[in-house]
Amino acid sequence: MQLPPMPPRRGEDDSHLIPLINIVFLLLIFFMLAGALTRPDPFAVEPPASARAGESPGEALQILLNREGRLALDGQPLEMQALKTRLARAVEAAAEEGEGVTVHLRADRRVSSARLLDLTRQMQETGVERIFLLTLKARGETP
Amino acid sequence: MEIEAPPPRRRALIGLTPLIDVVFILLVFFMLASSFLDWRLLPLHATSGTALAAAEQAPLRVHVAADGGIRLQDRAVEPGGLARALGARLAEAPGRAVVVQPEGDLPLQRLVAVLDQVRAAGASQVTLAGE
């Protein structure tokens, strides 16, 4: 009986893979540290570009306003009334700790100014202390 | 018959291949889940017309038409010249409030461009007001 020839032995161990692992580890650490994990948005929002630099965003309630005027608070779509009650509750909770509520508003670049003003005013009525519009750093010129 | 015993193999304590698999999966996860967007903050403050009239020093009014035309204190300003014109006014009275009045149909991107210029002029108090 003739056995088929033995397959050629692989290298003694996996030591030739170590440079690959090094690179992959470095990439992994880079993406872990440099990228910010964000929850996916319930709908698409194209932020406006701004040339003037503001301070970098910290922790705040995040409100989305898309082109059709749909709203979302912290990744959860809701209506204007529900948003106001949620904000009022947040303001109450923050007031007990002697703090104000900060809101980061991510509005679509094509949304009308009237809609933005209306939303800003309604948020101020609920007692939100600071409202910031989130923009992206402009690349070159603004259209 | 004599069977030769195979030479003792040096075995790695942990196989490297599963480790690489896991690290690759982590890498792909972080590549897809992380975002590298450079967010900036633009403070928003809105007032109504009645609150404006109550201020002791009349604020500088910047009116922005829906087509992007800018008027500073009812005088037309060319689109790129707002920062300079407003800067000159603010140099006379530093700390004077500036009110930006966008027309309702103005897209947000254009409003942000105007707000950029107002901030570039050095205005410290910027509010938005409806018409």
Q: Counting Cβ atoms within 10 Å, is residue B99 exposed (0-12), middle (13-18) or buried (19+)?
A: buried
Residue A35 has pLDDT above 50, yes or no: yes
How confident is residue B95, by pLDDT bands cut at 50, 70 and 90? confident
Domain of residue A95, CATH code: 3.30.420
| A13, part of any domain | no
How confident is residue B20, by pLDDT bands cut at 50, 70 and 90? confident
Q: pLDDT tens for residues B96-127?
A: 888 888 888 888 888 888 888 888 888 878 88
Q: Based on the structure, what is the number of domains in chain A?
A: 1
Note whether B13 contacts A: Cβ–Cβ < 8 A.
no
What is the residue range of A81's domain? Answer: 49-137
As a dihedral over the C-alpha atoms of residue B120, residue B86, residue B77, residue B47, rounded to 10 degrees, the angle is 90
Q: How far is A22 from chain B (nearest CA, A)?
A: 10
CATH architecture designation of domain B46-129: 2-Layer Sandwich (3.30)
| A2, part of any domain | no
ipTM: 0.72
Q: Which residues pair with A88 in a beta bridge?
A: none
Residue A73: name the closest of A110, A113, A125, A123 by CA: A123
- Domain borders along chain B are 46-129
Note whether B16 contacts A: Cβ–Cβ < 8 A.
yes
Residue B46: name the closest of A126, A43, A138 by CA: A126
Helix or strand (DSSP H, E) at A113: helix A113-125
How confident is residue B83, by pLDDT bands cut at 50, 70 and 90? confident
Side-chain-side CA neighbours of A41 within 13 Å: the count stands at 17
Q: What span, in angstroms and rounded, lies between the C-alpha atoms of B114 and B111?
A: 5
CB B110 within 8 A of CB B100: no
Q: Which of B10, B23, B39, B99 to mutate to test the interface with A (most CBs of A within 10 A)?
A: B39
CB B112 within 8 A of CB A138: no
Cα dist. B101→A85, A133, B117 in Å?
Answer: 28, 17, 14
Residue in chain A lying closest to B26 (CA): A28
Polymer length in residues for chain A: 143
Note whether B50 contacts A: Cβ–Cβ < 8 A.
no
Q: What is the DSSP string of A2-54?
A: -PPPPPPP--SSSGGGHHHHHHHHHHHHHHHHHSEE-PPPSS---PPEESS--
For residue A8, the model assigns a pLDDT of: 60
CB B60 within 8 A of CB B97: yes
Q: pLDDT tens for residues B35-69?
A: 887 788 888 888 766 566 556 677 888 888 888 78
